Copies of this chain bind each other. A is one copy, B any other.
Amino acid sequence: MKSDIEIAQNAKMEPIVKIAEKLGVLEDEIEQYGKYKCKISLDIMKKNENKKDGKLILVTAINPTPAGEGKSTVTVGLGDAFNKIGKKAVIALREPSLGPVFGMKGGATGGGNAQVVPMEDINLHFTGDMHAITSANNLLSAAIDNHIHQGNLLRIDSRRVVFKRVIDMNDRALRNIVVGLGGKINGFLREDGFNITVASEIMAILCMAKDLSDLKERMGNILVAYNLDGEPVYAKDLQVQGAMALLMKDAIKPNLVQTLENTPAIIHGGPFANIAHGCNSIVATKMALKLGDFAITEAGFGADLGAEKFLNIKCRYGDLAPECVVLVATVRALKHHGGVKKDELNIPSVSALEKGIKNLEKQIENIKEFNIPVVVAINKFITDSEEEIKFIENFCSNLGIKVSNTEVWEKGGLGGIDLANKILETIEESESKFAPIYDINDSIKDKILKISKTIYGADNVNYAPQALKQISEIEKFNMDKLPICMAKTQYSLSDNPMLLGRPHGFDINVKEINVSNGAGFIVVQTGNIMTMPGLPKVPAANKMDIDINGKITGLF
């Protein structure tokens, strides 16, 4: 069996100019990065102002399990399938982060015969967006410490600098550091730490911004510290948002690549799905809608986090409304939710499925809370039994939901035609009446309660004293009228990763609340969220190589 990279390396890519052409984008409207990647000018949005937008389809999933669900693979394969049945589809994905590639994470470029290419480039430096974010972030950080060093006119409290440096590398040693050692010429000593680049607020901002001006304004609004009187200090107080915008001038432009089957794929922005909203950029999604009859996009983690934030945050800011949501599950993952251990997932067990499918049931209900039609996609595995598949089909059919068994991993677009058709039927039959589930003018606590009860199925929300203090502070400085970005374990509907399936009788425990004031959301942490991964004992990097002809091995 061929590995993902072997399949990707055998892809028959079309020049990116041709892919752009298919979308009506002229050579003058793109900037090539080699022959198979390009950036698309935001000007094409103005040019197509009067063109009707395509239909938005969101791909999300049950709560992730170690068994793997293949959400990106389904997203890619679905795009190919649409094109196979003569519908003009554009895929809109997130950009993978460089650091985790060297740890143990797989790429974010799909798998098998449903991949975006050139996968090596997309998983490495791509078009430099991540590096631009790193630079803009660290310019702001350097400006903060420089300001303190050069007289500290703003009276920044060096104990309360909340904006951290970033690096696109899994590097645990940088999680907690002390900077400014070595005496007067090196500035003031203070505790600090690095996050991984995708956890930068600038990444979240890139994904929210309408254009470069909006990006600049949002970057200026980043809350970087408090002064000695306890008042907020913003990035704009340091006057570097112009220089930061300059560093982001190309990063704001969406990137175009293609699938193995030459379907256009826009890959742009990839914020953390916990402390940020985990979706690709609004400009990319809007561009996909403008250029395609169907725009297919995905959200991070399971529907309780990814889809919830996609719908309550991204759609709100971007004025977007999906016509249909695809919920991805696998037989194996559902059995895992039913209590089966990882090494026994290949053994057919309808009884485990019966328990585990409750997770899917709840996620279906969650999407319905937003008044959007749902289709379930079962990403097929060779070990799935006839009986198990039948059980899921019956279960969904009783709920009035269409199910499709997709085989995009094995067959590419061909394996997703049934899913594409079922989506078309669903859109035809049921109209989306999408609306977010809370009002941003509600109190912070009301918004959190609404999400916790409605989406997670929690009984109540408990707050640590620290979190209560933070709420008062956020309200005091009028930063409370923002949507909520929940940072919670992705493995459970609850805030306890051990509670699989559909847990009942639990509370959500809020530990910490911060504001991403530039991105425009309030981050609610229900546990210790790791914003800087580490490398494993044997990092993936150790197996990677490139030969004299540029042939890469070991990437995945």
Q: Write 21 A-B pairs (CB below 8 A) sorted by A numbering.
A: A31-B32, A32-B33, A98-B135, A125-B128, A125-B250, A131-B131, A142-B169, A143-B539, A146-B535, A149-B172, A172-B185, A172-B186, A173-B179, A173-B188, A177-B178, A178-B178, A212-B546, A213-B547, A242-B545, A243-B541, A245-B545
Q: Which of A341-349, A502-510, A548-556 contacts B (4 or more CB under 8 A)?
A: A548-556
Known: A33-B32, A171-B145, A187-B172. A102 touches B542 (CB 8 A): no
CB distance from A103 to the nearest CB of B (A): 9
Q: B179 near A249 (CB under 8 angstroms)?
A: no
- Does A400 count as interface, using CB distance less than 8 angstroms? no
> Which residues of B have CB within 8 Å of A537?
150-151
Q: Give the interface SS of chain A, mostly helix, strand, loop or mixed.
A: mixed
A 506-556 contacts with B by CB, 8 A: 534-537, 539, 541-548, 550, 552, 554-555
Q: A245 near B546 (CB under 8 angstroms)?
A: yes
> Which residues of B have CB within 8 Å of A141?
169, 171
> Which residues of B have CB within 8 Å of A124?
246-247, 249
Bound-state CA distance A539–B141 (Å) is 13
Q: A173 near B150 (CB under 8 angstroms)?
A: no
For A98, the closest partner residue in chain B by CB is: B135
- Does A489 count as interface, using CB distance less than 8 angstroms? no
> Which residues of B have CB within 8 Å of A32?
31-34
**Interface of A with B (CB < 8 Å)?**
31-35, 39, 98, 102, 120, 124-125, 128, 131-132, 134-135, 138-139, 141-143, 145-146, 149-151, 165, 167-182, 185-188, 190-192, 211-213, 216, 239-240, 242-243, 245-247, 249-250, 534-537, 539, 541-548, 550, 552, 554-555
> Which residues of B have CB within 8 Å of A246?
120, 124, 544-546, 552, 555
CB distance from A106 to the nearest CB of B (A): 15
